[in-house]
């Protein structure tokens, strides 16, 4: 492993949008740059208007490239990565969107043959934590899961609604949950979720209680390299944490440990719980860091930097524990760009530099 790779790795990161439904990419970049200050970051984008493409702050990207949509398959992704590699080396890819990870499973050997690292769970573990398999995982790990029924078609969704009762949640196969209060809402919600995420959809009983979120890094042998647990204090309309506070609860720690051990999970994860009258219930497990991942990085638990260290080396150090009582509140700002930047990425599929960053650097050098 070269010194350049250890100290100045080239890291490609996706999921760069930070709107009302924020993606993890910019928070991952900020975390990495807190330790790997000389890292080169390539933004992998599915939309030229992803807000992170226009940042000049700690989460800036040094170059940006469009990717084919995940539905186009692994071969299209590999072809595009090969094009990117003609002008930019890639040491590590950090995928930050659930839908793109199956393509990376298919490309794992090809990427490593090209010297590109990527930290993933096994395909079997990825499948076992999926929403349709969550009840089985809960039984295996000894963790409560809300009653959930599969609905491969609309008739099954109506039947599941009758069995569970209203209100209920209708969940997409990969992402998104809609709260329904009557059978009249089933058809529109079902057709929307299947058109966006495919089938089946999940019909799940609601649990009244507080929401908790745990992010961490599995070591691939059933252990944890580090983790941070929060209680959500403020939510967006899609259920994202807009504010949260670190909690320390041995009961929750045990549940997270059981899940990670049952899966021998390798790499980033986010596990969501609701704490109701009967205790904690597992809601879902996502195979990537959450959008709030830079919060623990600021208080001594830098999990993305630990991921980079595992993959390409360097002196990140082991992530520490998060102190209970520390909290975050997300703060939205307006990012200023230029139509030329948008046009370059839209037309050519690549943007070599953030123009405003380059201008700022030149101005600083001229002083």
Residue 40 lies in a domain: yes
Residue 156 predicted with pLDDT over 50: yes
Task: Give the global pTM.
Answer: 0.88
Residue 349 lies in a domain: yes
Q: Give the residue ranges of DSSP H helices in 286-334.
A: 294-298, 303-312
- 25-47 in b/e form (b: 16+ CB < 10 A) is bbbbbbbbbbbbeebbbbbbbbe
Distance CA 227, CA 328 (A): 16
Distance CA 58, CA 37 (A): 9
Lowest mean pLDDT among 192-206, 264-278, 298-312: 192-206
Two structure tokens written together for 206: 């609601």
Which CATH number do you get for residue 53?
3.40.50.20
Number of domains in the chain: 2
Mean pLDDT, rounded, for 34-55:
94
Backbone angles phi, psi at 108, to 5 degrees: -55, -50
Which residues, including other chains, have CB under 8 Å from residue 212's CB and lie 6 or more apart?
229, 230, 231, 232, 247, 252, 272, 273, 274, 275, 280
Cα within 13 Å of Cα(104), Cβ side:
21
Residue 260 lies in a domain: no
Confidence of residue 155 (pLDDT cuts 50, 70, 90): very high
State the average pLDDT for the chain.
Answer: 90
Residue 282 lies in a domain: no
Domain final residue, candidates 173, 204, 235: 204
Mean pLDDT, rounded, for 305-332:
89
Report the length, in residues, of the chain: 367
pLDDT of residue 361: 43
- 247-265 in b/e form (b: 16+ CB < 10 A) is beeeebeebbbbbbebbbb
Instruction: Specify the DSSP class assigned to residue 62.
Output: S
Distance CA 260, CA 99 (A): 21
Q: Containing domain of residue 164, as a range?
A: 147-204
Domain final residue, candidates 172, 204, 236: 204
Which CATH number do you get for residue 151?
3.30.1490.20
Domain final residue, candidates 204, 232, 249: 204
Backbone angles phi, psi at 188, to 5 degrees: -60, -45
Strands 148-151 and 40-45: unpaired
Residue 42 lies in a domain: yes
Lowest mean pLDDT among 161-175, 221-235, 247-261: 161-175
Mean pLDDT, rounded, for 152-179:
90
3-state secondary structure of 342: helix
Shared-domain flag, residues 31 and 113: yes
Greater pLDDT, 208 or 260: 260
């Amino acid at each position: 492993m070269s010194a350049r790779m250890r100290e100045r790795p080239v890291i490609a990161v996706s999921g760069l949008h930070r709107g009302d439904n924020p993606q993890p990419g910019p928070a991952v970049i900020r975390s990495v740059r807190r330790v790997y200050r000389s890292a080169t970051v390539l933004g992998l984008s599915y939309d030229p208007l992803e807000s992170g493409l226009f940042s000049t702050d700690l989460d800036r990207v040094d170059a940006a490239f469009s990717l084919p949509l995940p539905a186009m398959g692994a071969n299209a992704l590999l072809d595009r990565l090969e094009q990117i590699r003609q002008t930019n080396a890639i040491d590590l890819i950090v995928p930050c969107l659930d839908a793109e990870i199956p393509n990376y499973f298919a490309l794992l050997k090809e990427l490593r043959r090209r010297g590109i690292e990527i930290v993933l769970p096994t395909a079997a573990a990825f499948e076992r934590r999926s929403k349709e398999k969550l009840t089985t995982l809960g039984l295996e790990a000894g963790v409560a899961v809300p009653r959930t029924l599969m609905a491969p078609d609309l008739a099954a969704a109506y039947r599941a609604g009758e069995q569970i009762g209203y209100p209920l949640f209708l969940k997409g196969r990969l992402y998104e949950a809609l709260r329904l209060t009557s059978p009249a809402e089933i058809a529109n919600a079902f057709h929307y979720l299947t058109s966006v995420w495919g089938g089946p959809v999940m019909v799940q009983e609601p649990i009244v209680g507080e929401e908790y979120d745990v992010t961490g890094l599995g070591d691939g042998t059933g252990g944890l390299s580090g983790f941070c647990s929060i209680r959500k204090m403020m939510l967006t309309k899609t259920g994202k944490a807009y504010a949260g506070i670190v909690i320390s609860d041995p009961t929750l720690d045990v549940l997270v440990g059981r899940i990670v051990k049952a899966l021998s999970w390798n790499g980033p994860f986010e596990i969501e719980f609701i704490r109701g009258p009967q205790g904690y219930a597992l809601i879902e497990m996502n195979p990537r860091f959450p959008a709030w991942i830079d919060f623990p990085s600021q208080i001594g638990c830098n999990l993305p930097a630990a991921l980079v260290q595992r993959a390409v080396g360097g002196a990140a150090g082991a992530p520490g524990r998060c102190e209970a009582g520390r909290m975050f509140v997300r703060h939205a700002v307006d990012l200023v760009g230029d139509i030329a930047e948008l046009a370059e990425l839209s037309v050519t599929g690549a943007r070599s530099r953030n123009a405003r960053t380059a201008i700022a650097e030149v101005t600083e050098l001229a002083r």
